[in-house]
Amino acid sequence: MNSESSSLSSLEPAGRAQRREFLKRLAFVAGSSALLADLPWWSPLRAAPAGDSPADRVRVGLIGVGIRGNALLANLLKTPGVEVAALCDDYAPHLQAGLAKVKGAKGFADYRQMLDMPGLDGVLIATPLYLHARMCLDAFSAGKHVFCEKSLAYTIEECQAIADAHRGSRKVFQIGHQRMFSPAFLRAFELVRDGRIGPITQIRAYWHRNGDWRNPVPNPGPDPSPFPSLERRLNWRLYLAYSRGLMTELASHHMQVANWFLAAHPVSCAGYGSINYWKDGREVYDNVNVVYRYANGTHVIYDSLISNRFYGLEIQVMGPKGTIEAETGRIFAEDPPPAPGIVQLVNGIERGFFDAVPIGGPSWVPELKKDTKGSTLVRERTSDDGTAISMAAFVNAIRAGEPIPGMMEQACRSGVSVLMGHASMEQQQKIAWPEGFRE
Amino acid sequence: MNTRFSVVLAGIDAEKAEALAAAVERELRAQERTMSRFDVEGPLAELNRRAAKEAVEPPEELWEILLLCRDYWERTGGAFDITLWPLNRLWREHLEQGEEPAEETIAEAKQQTGMERVHFNEAAHTVRFENPEMSVDLGGFGKGFALERVAGNLRAQGVEQAFLSFGESSIAVLGSHPHGPAWPVGIADMFHPTRTVHTFHLKNASLSSSGTAPFNRMEGRRAQGQIIGQIIDPGSGRPIEGYRTMSVASPSAMEAEVLSTALLVTPERERAALLSGFSRISAVEIVYQPHEGDFIPRIQWQYEL
């Protein structure tokens, strides 16, 4: 699957017709048994893309039409065989803007009314973190398939409740960790599995931005919602009642990748966080630093801050033979190949030989750039970070009526990991993986 | 400098050796920034961008390097020249298409080259190019210059035995091999790399090789009738022909580097005269001749003083 997965990126899923072509190609790759053994969540993509007949059509509703909801919507509208039948948002301007984009969709302010709408196969939840659990549970109760944005839930108990409700339900559940469907991350995973960097000895991940992480808040006017204020509604990421800040909203992506690559969840973590720059009334940390420990002694070091963007975002997967930087899609060999003559020279010195070494000649230059600058994991980067493929996987899984294998495990592991990190920083002590947690 | 650097330090403990190696790496990276024409933010790229329009004052280190290069250009009668980039580019572009440039195109490119067209203002420390297409390329100088610096620094740190190699084409040694009176360095047969054509015995000296290779090294495969590592004769404006290498040993890494190219483009009968201005030089020219589908190396010319 090596050559196949790296060819994925050369196809840009632009419009709906192009995306159908893309998904057709993808179906070949996804059908590989080697791929499915390691990435079971790719199995829905084995199916050829649906046609346009009404029988093939999957009807979904989107709860939360904010920034992330709009990104999902844009991708859904290009995905073959899906109808966005309903949109829900309790913030009227977002709902109206969403409805303007989708012909014929019904609008709802209350998601429970949307769940009662007849003929809806599944829902996508792109709402503030504290709402995820109740919406997932209500959607399962209503017999809907569920796509939920990351992070899984606001508390570990809620993560457990979602996993419990889903277990045995035969409903599709998918979490919004798009790196699970990113060709660059897939390629990185293959290289690790194939031993190109040796066993993973450390993962270091960071997400750095420079900005206040705020959304503009318009002049409120009359606000009938149960929220205390428009500021808290639109900037929910900054308040502890709705979010756990950088850990749940950013770190969860890299913790998902780390848990995936290490095929494990952390056994414990310890960290520090503070508000040391954006002292503007926010409640969540503006810088976080957490070290996760895994059962085999591997550590994942995570840090994030929003007062410096020099290093940007990256996840560095390290082993004795090399380093993979998965976000920028590069692999670096630990040791560039030594000059053959130099090896001979050193061997001679160590063994007490005095021999001429045939070494001089026109200059050696690297045969490939990778020898000095790292080599790229996929031939071209597409604009899709995996979200487009995620949407296709969700829709295909609904059409097939098959839950996506391995998905809830990934969702729980990253969801719990970031909540452990948050708890460790809040309580200033080591936090263990919750005993008895069932993924 | 788009190659690898190897350093072998003998007779010192590992911890000190690692600290020295790290210092060497820092030095080389600084040198590369000064001398790379590809680092768009670097001083050489800036000089190449601006010097045809106005007098440019390069940083002190680059200024010193340019003066050295002008000095070597004079001492080699113009055989060593850092301004041949327009000719190099012209030939590369044409040979890639499998053709030779026309005579008038070559003549035109020659007008854009030549150290005599680089004007130095010694009082103001500024440099100006006479022609808008002119460009300085330190590819045939930088490795030797950097090696000389590194060797000097290591010597100052008390290192007595070391072997330094820049992509195997530029080598400098300190002292002698731990088990012998000198560092023996073989010039490899480039068609049969395990065979040695000639051996230099270096002690506190440097060795530089220049030449044309039959391999497209950037692609790791044999080029289709194409010579890579092309070396332009500034006199004729044409690349030298055949597969040949010139290896020069000298107490100075810089001089070895300069002379390996300069001798290659100088006719045999004029080489002794050129070398009369230098001391303690030994040089060997190897020519590879086609023979029954293979290439056989022959020592074409040799000099010892």
Residue A220, pLDDT score: 61
* ipTM of the shown complex: 0.79
Helix (H, G, I), strand (E, B), or coil: what is residue A325? strand
B75 part of a folded domain: no
User: Bigger pLDDT: B255 or A355?
Assistant: B255
Q: What are the pLDDT digits (tens) for B26-65?
A: 999 899 999 988 888 899 999 999 999 999 999 999 999 9
B63 part of a folded domain: no
pLDDT at B107 over 80: yes
Indicate the domain borders of chain A: 39-181+385-405, 200-319+414-432
Residue B220, pLDDT score: 36
> Would you give the DSSP letter of residue A237?
G
B34 part of a folded domain: no
A418-429: average pLDDT:
98
Considering CB atoms only, which of B169, B180, B193 is closest to A363? B169
Give the residue from A62, A96, A97, A99 showing the smallest Cα distance to A79.
A62
Considering CB atoms only, which of A341, A362, A371 is closest to B209? A362
Min CA distance, B191 vs chain A (Å)?
Answer: 11
Topology given in CATH for the domain delimited by A200-319+414-432: Dihydrodipicolinate Reductase; domain 2 (3.30.360)
Considering CB atoms only, which of B168, B179, B229 is closest to A359? B168
| Residues of A whose CB is below 8 A from B163 | 342, 345
CB B56 within 8 A of CB B127: yes
Preceding amide of A151 cis, omega within 30: yes
| Residues of B whose CB is below 8 A from A351 | none
Do A366 and B193 count as a contact with CB atoms less than 8 A apart?
A: no
pLDDT at A395 over 90: yes
| Residues of B whose CB is below 8 A from A346 | 8
B209 part of a folded domain: yes
B86 part of a folded domain: no
Do A360 and B200 count as a contact with CB atoms less than 8 A apart?
A: yes
Structure tokens that stand for A296 in this block: 């085999």
pLDDT at A372 over 80: no
B175-194: average pLDDT:
90
pLDDT at A4 over 50: no
Helix (H, G, I), strand (E, B), or coil: what is residue B283? strand
Instruction: Indicate the average pLDDT of chain A.
Output: 89
Min CA distance, A373 vs chain B (Å)?
Answer: 10
Chain A / chain B CB contacts < 8 angstroms? 112
A372-396: average pLDDT:
73
Min CA distance, A311 vs chain B (Å)?
Answer: 20
Structure tokens that stand for B191 in this block: 């068609």
Residues of B with a Cβ under 8 Å from any A Cβ are 2-4, 6, 8, 10, 143, 163, 165-171, 177-180, 184-190, 193-196, 199-200, 207, 209-213, 217-220, 229, 245, 247
Burial class of A170 by CB neighbour count within 10 A (0 to 12, 13 to 18, 19+) = exposed
Do A362 and B187 count as a contact with CB atoms less than 8 A apart?
A: no
Topology given in CATH for the domain delimited by A39-181+385-405: Rossmann fold (3.40.50)
Out of A3-7, A268-272, B211-215, pick the least confident.
A3-7
Considering CB atoms only, which of A342, A366, A372 is closest to B165? A342
- Write the CA distances from B118 to A376, B61, B131, integer angstroms: 41, 18, 9
Query: Scanning every residue of chain B, which has its alpha carbon at the shortest distance from the alpha carbon of A355?
Result: B184
Tell me the residue range of the domain where B198 lies: 161-304
* % residues pLDDT > 90 (chain A): 67
Min CA distance, B273 vs chain A (Å)?
Answer: 25
Tokens 């000389």 belong to: B148
Do B185 and A349 count as a contact with CB atoms less than 8 A apart?
A: no
Q: What are the pLDDT digits (tens) for B244-253?
A: 999 999 999 9
Distance from chain centroid for Cα B33: 17
Min CA distance, A349 vs chain B (Å)?
Answer: 7
A411-438: average pLDDT:
98
B111 part of a folded domain: no
Residue A2, pLDDT score: 39
Do A363 and B3 count as a contact with CB atoms less than 8 A apart?
A: yes
Do A361 and B8 count as a contact with CB atoms less than 8 A apart?
A: no
The band of B149, judged by pLDDT with boundaries at 50, 70 and 90, is: very high
A34-55: average pLDDT:
84
Residue B221, pLDDT score: 37
Q: What are the pLDDT digits (tens) for A110-153?
A: 999 999 999 999 999 999 999 999 999 999 999 999 999 999 99
Neighbouring residues of A39: CB distance < 8 A, sequence distance ≥ 6: A180, A186, A189, A406
Q: How far apart are CA A306 and CA A210, in angstroms?
A: 5
Residue B38, pLDDT score: 82
Neighbouring residues of A301: CB distance < 8 A, sequence distance ≥ 6: A202, A203, A204, A205, A290, A291, A292
Do B195 and A358 count as a contact with CB atoms less than 8 A apart?
A: yes
Out of A30-34, A51-55, A375-379, pick the least confident.
A375-379
The band of B217, judged by pLDDT with boundaries at 50, 70 and 90, is: very low
Out of A174-183, A290-299, B235-244, pick the least confident.
B235-244
| Residues of A whose CB is below 8 A from B193 | 340, 358, 361
Out of A99-113, A183-197, A388-402, B213-227, pick the least confident.
B213-227
Q: How far apart are CA B274 and CA B296, in angstroms?
A: 28
B177 part of a folded domain: yes
Q: What are the pLDDT digits (tens) for A240-282?
A: 999 999 999 999 999 999 999 999 999 999 999 999 999 999 9
pLDDT at A381 over 90: no
Do A360 and B186 count as a contact with CB atoms less than 8 A apart?
A: yes
Query: Scanning every residue of chain A, which has its alpha carbon at the shortest distance from the alpha carbon of B198?
Result: A358
Residues of A with a Cβ under 8 Å from any B Cβ are 336, 338-342, 345-346, 348-349, 352-368, 371-372
pLDDT at A373 over 70: no
| Residues of B whose CB is below 8 A from A364 | 3-4, 167-169, 217
B215 part of a folded domain: yes
Residue B226, pLDDT score: 47
Neighbouring residues of B77: CB distance < 8 A, sequence distance ≥ 6: B266, B270, B274
H or E stretch including A271?
Answer: strand A268-274
Residue A228, pLDDT score: 64
Q: What are the pLDDT digits (tens) for B165-184?
A: 988 889 999 999 999 999 99
Considering CB atoms only, which of A338, A361, A365 is closest to B6? A338
- Write the CA distances from A64 to A88, A109, A378, integer angstroms: 6, 10, 33
Residue A5, pLDDT score: 45
pLDDT at B223 over 80: no
> How many domains is chain B partitioned into structurally?
1
B228-239: average pLDDT:
86
Do B209 and A338 count as a contact with CB atoms less than 8 A apart?
A: no
Q: What are the pLDDT digits (tens) for A62-95?
A: 999 999 999 999 999 999 999 999 999 999 999 9
Kindly report the CATH number assigned to the domain that includes residue B291.
3.10.520.10
| Residues of A whose CB is below 8 A from B143 | 363
pLDDT at B228 over 80: no
Query: Scanning every residue of chain A, which has its alpha carbon at the shortest distance from the alpha carbon of B218?
Result: A367
| Residues of A whose CB is below 8 A from B184 | 354-357
The band of A348, judged by pLDDT with boundaries at 50, 70 and 90, is: confident
Give the residue from B145, B176, B197 showing the smallest Cα distance to B8.
B176
The band of A364, judged by pLDDT with boundaries at 50, 70 and 90, is: low
pLDDT at A15 over 80: no
How are strands ordered across the β-sheet holding B5-9?
A: B5-9, B162-166, B170-174, B206-211, B243-250, B282-291, B294-304
The band of A1, judged by pLDDT with boundaries at 50, 70 and 90, is: very low
What would the DSSP string read from start to end of A17-80? HHHHHHHHHHHHHHT-HHHHHH-GGGGGGGSPPP-SSGGG-EEEEEE--SHHHHHHHHHHHHST
Q: What are the pLDDT digits (tens) for A279-302?
A: 999 999 999 999 999 999 999 999
Do B179 and A357 count as a contact with CB atoms less than 8 A apart?
A: no
H or E stretch including B127?
Answer: strand B126-129
Query: Scanning every residue of chain A, which has its alpha carbon at the shortest distance from the alpha carbon of B211?
Result: A362
Tokens 């020295």 belong to: B20
Overall pTM > 0.80: no
| Residues of B whose CB is below 8 A from A338 | 6
Q: What are the pLDDT digits (tens) for B50-103?
A: 999 999 999 999 999 999 999 999 999 999 999 999 999 898 888 777 788 999
The band of A429, judged by pLDDT with boundaries at 50, 70 and 90, is: very high
A389-418: average pLDDT:
96
Do B171 and A359 count as a contact with CB atoms less than 8 A apart?
A: yes
CB A402 within 8 A of CB A238: no
Query: Scanning every residue of chain B, which has its alpha carbon at the shortest distance from the alpha carbon of A363?
Result: B169
The band of B214, judged by pLDDT with boundaries at 50, 70 and 90, is: low
